[in-house]
């Protein structure tokens, strides 16, 4: 179904359509936003699954409340 989607001629047609819709002035902003979102996604994927300091302190506070209720 998508066999020939990424052929050079198809990519040129897609680029022309994008230029018509957004205009040449808007393309750098779109590219910058796309780049930032990709970098943010990669950064989030590479970070460890450890909670941040704020989350750790909140978790400890909740655990201490639960211990007081159960005691």
pLDDT at 53: 60
Phi-psi region at 23: left, alpha or beta (left = phi > 0; alpha = psi -120 to 50): left
pLDDT at 52: 60
pLDDT at 40: 92
Tokens of 19: 């230029």
- Degrees to nearest 5, angle at CA 37 with 22 and 32: 45
How far is it, in rounded angstroms, from Cα 4 to Cα 8? Answer: 9
Domain ranges of the chain: 7-46
Q: What is the pTM of this model?
A: 0.45
- pLDDT per residue, tens digit, the chain (71 aa), is 567 777 888 888 988 998 899 888 888 898 899 899 999 999 888 876 655 666 667 777 777 777 776 65
pLDDT at 51: 56
């Amino acid at each position: 179904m998508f066999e020939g989607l990424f052929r050079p001629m198809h990519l040129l047609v897609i680029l022309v359509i994008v230029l018509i819709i957004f205009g040449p002035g808007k393309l750098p902003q779109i590219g910058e936003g796309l780049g930032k979102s990709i970098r943010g996604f990669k950064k989030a994927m590479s970070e460890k699954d450890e909670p941040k300091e704020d989350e750790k302190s909140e978790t400890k506070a909740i655990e201490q409340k639960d211990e007081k209720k159960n005691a």
